[in-house]
Structure 1
Amino acid sequence: MSRNKLRRSISLALLPVTLCTLLTSGTTAWSVEEGNPLLWSQEFNEKSGSKPDPKYWNYDLGDGRGWGNRELQIYTDINAKTTGRGSLAITALKISPKKKQICYYGYCEWSSARITTKEKVWIKYGTIEARIQMPAGRGSWPAFWMLGQNIDEMSWPNSGEIDITEGLGRTPYLAYATIHGPGYFAGSSIGTRHLNNKKLSDNFHIYGINWSEDSIEWTFDGEVIFKQSKDSIAPRTWVFNQHFSLILNVAMGGEFGGEVGKDSKSGLKMKVDWIRVKQFNGQGEVQVLP
């Protein structure tokens, strides 16, 4: 999906995390799997109402000029908090008509959150998974995705985008897996839709990618559902052999999210139980800025 990517250029020195080091959030320490050690995780075990760990997470704020999709939400730094039950909730709230805020495409009708590891945590290759329960409601558009490290220099889509998963309230049984790059973005992106037998909002599911040099495969509850490679997209350019940041957000409406329905109640939530990054077939690196 196309999004407005307004970014400032920053030159930062990155400190690599050694492959034997486990970075965890909260009190849970995860054991090393043979051949696929855990490199980094977020368990969201902080007390209820805590914001995502600022060591690893930033907020994208404001209306973002519709974020490239004529979306209806404004992003804040208060709509993403831990639940006290070992998960993070990104909550979309209706804005009272008495408190309407003028946005790029008129009035922002919702508030929500979009958090990113950009400039704090960079990931290159490995298995990247999150256990997520999608929100319910037509017009909701939750996503767990990644953007290339060189976005400030190259701009989107030349820097690349990996959508590990996207959900749409108007298609509640479908999980979307997509890549965007130069010549294959927005309506020309490369992806698939995975059909589940129950609504994604009914339960938690594990959404992930197994990412290696020149290849990405997407997984749903551990099952491979889609694969693309440098060869499969040729002659288009493969832009996924670099570090990427992680993003979690819930958008409302917009060109992909569609019309917001009456079933979209204020307070709808995308719940994230955990995020884990492991090596995959000997490949995987996490860099954390000091």
Structure 2
Amino acid sequence: MDSPRLPRRLLLSVVSFLALASLSTGLTQGASASAADRAADSTARPAATARPAKAAAVTFSDEFDGAAGSAVNGSKWQIETGDNVNNHERQYYTAGNSNAALDGQGHLVITARRENPNNYQCWYGRCEYTSARLNTSGKFTTTYGRVEARMKVPRGQGMWPAFWMLGNDIGQVGWPNSGEIDIMENVGFEPSTVHGTLHGPGYSGSGGIGAGYSLPGGQAFADAYHTFAVDWSPNAITWSVDGTVYQRRTPADLGGRQWVFNKPFFVILNLAVGGYWPGDPDGSTSFPQQLLVDYVRVSTDGGQPAGGAITGVGGKCVDVAGGNNANGTAVQLYDCNGSAAQQWSVGSDGTIRALGKCLDVASGGTADGTLVQLWDCNGSAAQQWAVPAARDIVNPQADKCLDATGGSSANGTRLQIWTCTGAANQKWTVTR
């Protein structure tokens, strides 16, 4: 069921982040973290399952542990402020922990209140409600993987909780060209139903491509926690609720329109009040209302090939320094230890991936000695690799080989590109 609404576009506070050019920065070399893969959820699932049967490398997680009343982790989330005229929503999104705080029991609580303690002004005049909206822009993005949250939604006419993603290039290309993936939306007049929707050029707003999922027997989503997820791979996105798949979308569903979902996206959580789609609160709506979030997790098991080790000179493994998936993290040699930082998948799209990101030639360089790093997958030539039978790993743009600097096999040796020589420090064994 298509979501009959106008775009929930970003507030100005985040667009400034997105307009900044990415800067490639090398991180300090360091020892790889020990194995830290999260095992796949062992809960029994129907035959049509959203989760591949392999261990997942968790690339982003917030379990919302912390003292009651404390604000969200600022290294993971930014808080947007202001109103939203695009959908004629009624709330003002506040900063700090006024409307988004931890409850001390492992949950984030986003609270919508009928109040205006600071004389906030909205598109319609003096604001009537406050709430909160969080996103990971400038802090975390992902291309593909499993993106999930366990949540308990509010209830009542006019309530509009959402868990969704926007293309990280929104500051450059605008909406809807950036793409939007709505993992879960619920409107108060449909207490038993949630919606998952894609928005892009030519299929945005009420023309989005999606479907609804309803609980059996008239149960309400506000009565209990439920897990909402997408499993996202190149040219395919699958939605599930509590492990039950209810739709899968591919470019074939777009009728020739552009698929804009093979690039980095960031994550958003918010609780809106009122708007074109849910309608405004009425006399039946009680306040405050709360969106309770048990966790948000992003992992690499979204349909990419299973990962394996890449070994080189001295029998050492290609390793993401410190197991860190931040852009610019060094890629190095290190003792093989089986950790997620050493699990690499070689995709049919020419990429080599670990921890949800791509092996990347820094700044798209082509000169001998240009270091390689981990970076958001973006489809550039800097992230294209050929893996011929001769055991070279070649970046075709530079026509150079992946190379262990100085021929060294010491732990922490940085990897770079260099003119192909056939030397031992340019020979790699890829486990597929």
User: TM-score, normalised to structure 1's length?
Assistant: 0.89
Unaligned 5+ runs, structure 2: 41-53, 307-323, 329-432
* Residue pair 1:214, 1:230 contacting (<8 A) in 2 also: yes
Q: Structure 1 CA distance, aligned partners of 2:327 and 2:187?
A: 33
- AA of the residue aligned to 2:38: S
Q: Structure 1 CA distance, aligned partners of 2:272 and 2:78?
A: 17
Larger Rg: 2
Q: Structure 2 CA distance, aligned partners of 1:255 and 1:59?
A: 24
Q: Structure 1 CA distance, aligned partners of 2:33 and 2:64?
A: 19
Q: Secondary structure of the residue that 2:65 maps to in structure 1?
A: coil
Q: In the TM superposition, what are the counterparts of 1:170-185 in structure 2 within 5 Å?
A: 170-185=189-204
Q: Secondary structure of the residue that 1:187 maps to in structure 2?
A: helix
- AA of the residue aligned to 2:9: N
Aligned residues: 280
- AA of the residue aligned to 2:181: I
User: Residue 21 of structure 2 aligns with which residue?
Assistant: 11
Q: Secondary structure of the residue that 2:113 maps to in structure 1?
A: strand
| 1:32 Cα deviation from its structure 2 partner | 3.9
Unaligned 5+ runs, structure 1: 23-28
- AA of the residue aligned to 2:212: R
Select which of 49, 54, 69 maps to 2:87.
Answer: 69
User: Residue 31 of structure 1 aligns with which residue?
Assistant: 38
- AA of the residue aligned to 1:106: G
Q: In the TM superposition, what are the counterparts of 1:124-135 in structure 2 within 5 Å?
A: 124-135=143-154
Q: Deviation string for 1:221-274 (max 9, x for gaps)? A: 011111101222130100000110100000000101212122322221000000
Select which of 230, 233, 238 maps to 2:251.
Answer: 230
User: Residue 304 of structure 2 aligns with which residue?
Assistant: 282
Q: Structure 2 CA distance, aligned partners of 1:191 and 1:74?
A: 28
* Residue pair 1:14, 1:287 contacting (<8 A) in 2 also: no
Q: Structure 2 CA distance, aligned partners of 1:36 and 1:85?
A: 25
Q: In the TM superposition, what are the counterparts of 1:98-247 in structure 2 within 5 Å?
A: 100-197=119-216, 198-247=219-268
Q: Structure 2 CA distance, aligned partners of 1:117 and 1:101?
A: 25
Q: Structure 2 CA distance, aligned partners of 1:278 and 1:193?
A: 24
* Residue pair 2:193, 2:215 contacting (<8 A) in 1 also: yes
Q: Structure 2 CA distance, aligned partners of 1:124 and 1:88?
A: 25
After the TM superposition, which of the residue ranges 40-49 and 8-17 deviates more from structure 2? 8-17
Q: 1:58 to 1:15 in 2, by over 3 A?
A: farther
* Residue pair 2:144, 2:232 contacting (<8 A) in 1 also: yes
Select which of 253, 265, 268 maps to 2:286.
Answer: 265
- AA of the residue aligned to 1:199: A
| 1:283 Cα deviation from its structure 2 partner | 6.0
User: Residue 390 of structure 2 aligns with which residue?
Assistant: none
* Structure showing the higher strand proportion among its residues: 1
Matched, 1:86 2:106: yes
Q: 1:283 to 1:170 in 2, by over 3 A?
A: farther
- AA of the residue aligned to 2:270: N
| 1:3 Cα deviation from its structure 2 partner | 2.3
Q: Deviation string for 1:92-132 (max 9, x for gaps)? A: 01115x86533112331100000000111111101111000
Q: Secondary structure of the residue that 2:171 maps to in structure 1?
A: helix
Give the ranges of 4+ consecutive aligned residues of structure 1 lying more than 4 Å apart after TM superposition: 14-17
Task: Output the aligned Cα RMSD.
Answer: 2.6
Q: 1:21 to 1:116 in 2, by over 3 A?
A: farther
Q: Structure 2 CA distance, aligned partners of 1:228 and 1:16?
A: 37
Q: 1:200 to 1:111 in 2, by over 3 A?
A: same
Q: 1:122 to 1:21 in 2, by over 3 A?
A: farther
* Residue pair 1:60, 1:115 contacting (<8 A) in 2 also: yes
Larger RCO (alpha carbons 8 Å, 6+ apart): 1
User: TM-score, normalised to structure 2's length?
Assistant: 0.61
User: Residue 95 of structure 1 aligns with which residue?
Assistant: 115
* Residue pair 1:121, 1:289 contacting (<8 A) in 2 also: no
| 1:193 Cα deviation from its structure 2 partner | 1.0
User: Residue 316 of structure 2 aligns with which residue?
Assistant: none
Q: Secondary structure of the residue that 1:94 maps to in structure 2?
A: coil
Matched, 1:58 2:58: no
